[in-house]
Structure 1
Amino acid sequence: MRELRARWSALAADIEAATPAGRDRAVDALRALAILGVVLGHWLVTSLTVADGGLRGTSPLLHMPWLAPVSWVFQTLAVFFLVGGRVAARGYASARERGISYGAWVGQRLGRLFRPVAAVLVLWTVVAGGMLLGGVEFDTVRTLVRLVLSPLWFLLVFAALTAATPLVARLHPLWPAAVVAGVDLWRFGPGGPEWIGWVNVAAGWLVPFTLGAAWSRGAFARRGRLLLLVAAAAAAACALVLWGGYPASMVGVPGADVSNLDPPTLAVVAFGLAQCGLALLARDRLARLMRRPAAWARVAWVNRSAMTVFLWHQTAMMAVTALGLLLPARLPGLHTAPDSVGWIAVRVLWLPVFAAALGLCWAAFRIHEQDRRSRAGAVTAARRAPGPSAKEITHA
């Protein structure tokens, strides 16, 4: 244990030394918190139970609606889009200053997003085909594949907004918010078409994305403006839930008539604005925390493999669940219905096991998140020592 701590301290010191002086570490910290929030949220509110001879997806939010505040803590996608908007706007502005074409810039940005997706799709195509050929029930295979593929909608929207950065970077966040409000009025009004809600998939996430772009231009330097944003957005979200008929949960609940997330509603947009305001208020404190080499090393490590962690966290959970089925008894918190406080307590105990399985997925598939040059460096580094080098981590 002492040797492991010494190695980690040495790596943290190397990462600190290799980090460019002008890097905004608070941005990396917010991105890491957003990714980890999504992962932990999925692990806590997604459950696979044994029913009718197969696996079925359900959620503790369906059986215990009073758990809705959990979704307020772990539904952190708005913060990810906030950071994405800031990074995209600054990156595109920097590329123009250096004479880099839009095609080259967007190709590099989207390549980092989509390279890891290919590995997920190939593996699950083989696994799903093998399960069907082996006689596994179709509904079970569909449940598992849906859990794997459902996070990809976020990646597609994020990629589209990133590609549209030159067009939307100067857009005021109130404009897409107004579109969301108009769509909800039409959708939930008398005779409103359900399909119109899908307009909010772009408009809803454009709100925090353009907020991040405004942040890149130096907006929100005054804490008073941020406090006003948080107060107004939080009040709007509460009013919409209490008197507007919107669900209290900020994530989808199986079987619910209305989902705040699928597609996004005005309630989740208001909630996301409040969340983004809190994130911006916390940036100075995060920047101070990131001056500690040990804290910064952890954040840099997560950012280096953010897409790998995001894409494989559901697979890790399902792998643990499937292996548990080999035992003669059904395991509480893993295969049992999420309908009691006891299930929650046991589920928390499973989180380290899910994390260990995710670590195995990370070790196997993180190479796909790197470009060719980084892969060549990673292979060379792997011959010297396991894991990425400090330079590779800090230049993610």
Structure 2
Amino acid sequence: MNRRLAPAPTDAGRFPSSQPRDRAIDTVRAVAIAGVVLGHWLVTGLVLDPGGGLDQDSPLRALPSFAPVTWVLQTLGLFFFAGGYAAARSRRPLPRRLLRLAAPVAGFGALWTIALLAAAAAGVPGVTLDTVGTLVVSPLWFLLPFVALLALTGPLRRIGPLAALPAVAVVGLADAGFGTLPLTVLAAWLVPYTLGMALAAGRLTGRRTGIALLAGGAVAMAVLIRWLDYPMSAVGVPGQGRSNLSPPSLFTVALATAQIGAALLVRPWLDRRRTPPAVAVLNRAAMPIYLWHQSALITVVAGMAWLTAGAPVPGLHTAPDGLGWVAARVLWFPVFATVLAAACAAFPARRTPRADRSAK
């Protein structure tokens, strides 16, 4: 394997300080962030009720044939894969990494707490407050398993990718009705996280590995849908009794495995290419983008409701009941992106010291 892509750790389990950034992993991380943002913007329908409140719905309920689109846009597995890779190569102490996560989240939470309290005092309908609060808080759930996995990076490095096997068993037991939510969430995302660590250690080598992961994950997805009655959508659908994401199921693990296999197959090509500016921007602003992307959507939806005096705007306040709504919603993406860019400029990510940046 090319040592420049995955340098071997020293005896202390650390990587040389002179190693360059991995352009392919930067691209994988950017794709993961973009997938999460675009996916949320596409499936988050907000409908104005007769009383002026905002309720949540999803186009996937009216368009079940669109479920395969979620296989592309549900990219949290790639996010944890890139996170495991970066954690295995990082020389930054764990408390500093946790502080780097906690500071922007604390600011984000404080601002939205104030905003929701002010909205409640102003008489905003309770259904709107519940919907907005759910949309604001729901993206933060990933922090708990991510922080736990960061803390477990040392033991996971010693165990290696074999740690994924009992994790898959835990998720399977949870799907069968045995298990607890926190343990299931941790186990599901431990699989892509440990695969990222394995790549950093030079253990995922060769084209055959990528093919095996892609094919194995795809076959597992097909089996789970066809014979074990798992939902086809990679995200939850309102009104559907079972979800593949809350908590993450074996289908989610299989999807992450297939996506990682695809990433490994294109990795040599990605590493030879010059890093596109968009990839660099998404990597620098990963945390602000993740924190504020749903806030951008909410701001536009609420702002247009105010400007139109409550008259529904297609793609923003109308029921997500067909392809027309999807087309209208996509047309609003540039507006969401503009508001998100403004939020990221107002609350930028902390700069990483040069020595730490070289290790990612």
Q: How far is the alpha carbon of 1:242 from its aligned partner?
A: 1.2
Amino acid at match of 2:346: A
- Greater Cα shift, 174-183 or 262-271: 174-183
Q: How far is the alpha carbon of 1:307 from its aligned partner?
A: 0.2
1:379 — aligned with what? Answer: none
Q: Would you say the 8 A contact 2:168–2:191 is kept in 1?
A: no
- Structure 2 residue 314 is matched with structure 1 residue 332: yes
Amino acid at match of 1:154: F
Extract unaligned runs of 5+ from structure 2: 1-17
Once the two structures are superposed, residues 91-143 of structure 1 have per-residue CA deviations (whole angstroms, 9 ceiling, x without a partner) of 2xxx3xxxxxxxx7001211222221112111111111011111112221011
Q: Would you say the 8 A contact 1:301–1:393 is kept in 2?
A: no
Q: Would you say the 8 A contact 1:43–1:317 is kept in 2?
A: yes
- Tell me the distance in 2 between the aligned counterparts of 1:182 and 1:122: 35
Q: Would you say the 8 A contact 2:32–2:75 is kept in 1?
A: yes
Query: 2:133 pairs with 127, 145, 148, which one?
Result: 145
- Structure 2 residue 294 is matched with structure 1 residue 314: yes
1:300 — aligned with what? Answer: 280
Which of structures 1 and 2 has the bigger CA Rg?
1
2:105 — aligned with what? Answer: 117
Q: How far is the alpha carbon of 1:324 from its aligned partner?
A: 0.8
Please state whether the residue corresponding to 1:49 is helix, strand or coil: strand
Q: How far is the alpha carbon of 1:333 from its aligned partner?
A: 0.6
- Structure 2 residue 199 is matched with structure 1 residue 215: yes
Q: How far is the alpha carbon of 1:259 from its aligned partner?
A: 0.7
* Aligned counterparts, 1:12-31, within 5 A: 22-31=20-29
Please state whether the residue corresponding to 1:151 is helix, strand or coil: helix
Query: 1:355 pairs with 326, 337, 351, which one?
Result: 337
- Tell me the distance in 1 between the aligned counterparts of 2:342 and 2:356: 18
| CA 1:176–1:22: 2 relative to 1, 3 Å | closer
* TM-score, normalisation: structure 1: 0.81
* Aligned counterparts, 1:141-290, within 5 A: 141-173=129-161, 175-185=163-173, 187-188=175-176, 192=177, 196-289=180-273
- Greater Cα shift, 233-242 or 106-115: 106-115
Please state whether the residue corresponding to 2:118 is helix, strand or coil: helix
| CA 1:353–1:283: 2 relative to 1, 3 Å | same
Q: Would you say the 8 A contact 1:69–1:249 is kept in 2?
A: yes
1:34 — aligned with what? Answer: 32
Q: How far is the alpha carbon of 1:247 from its aligned partner?
A: 0.4
Q: Would you say the 8 A contact 1:171–1:210 is kept in 2?
A: no
| CA 1:164–1:393: 2 relative to 1, 3 Å | closer
Q: How far is the alpha carbon of 1:198 from its aligned partner?
A: 4.2
Q: Would you say the 8 A contact 1:170–1:213 is kept in 2?
A: no
Q: How far is the alpha carbon of 1:144 from its aligned partner?
A: 0.2
2:54 — aligned with what? Answer: 55
- Tell me the distance in 1 between the aligned counterparts of 2:30 and 2:225: 29
1:323 — aligned with what? Answer: 303
**What is the count of residue pairs matched by the alignment?**
339
- Structure 2 residue 331 is matched with structure 1 residue 344: no
1:75 — aligned with what? Answer: 74
Please state whether the residue corresponding to 1:282 is helix, strand or coil: helix
Q: How far is the alpha carbon of 1:283 from its aligned partner?
A: 1.2
Percent identity, aligned pairs only, is 47
* TM-score, normalisation: structure 2: 0.88
Once the two structures are superposed, residues 48-104 of structure 1 have per-residue CA deviations (whole angstroms, 9 ceiling, x without a partner) of 11124210111111221111011111111111111111111122xxx3xxxxxxxx7
Q: How far is the alpha carbon of 1:171 from its aligned partner?
A: 3.5
- Tell me the distance in 1 between the aligned counterparts of 2:169 and 2:237: 22
Q: How far is the alpha carbon of 1:196 from its aligned partner?
A: 3.1
| CA 1:51–1:187: 2 relative to 1, 3 Å | same
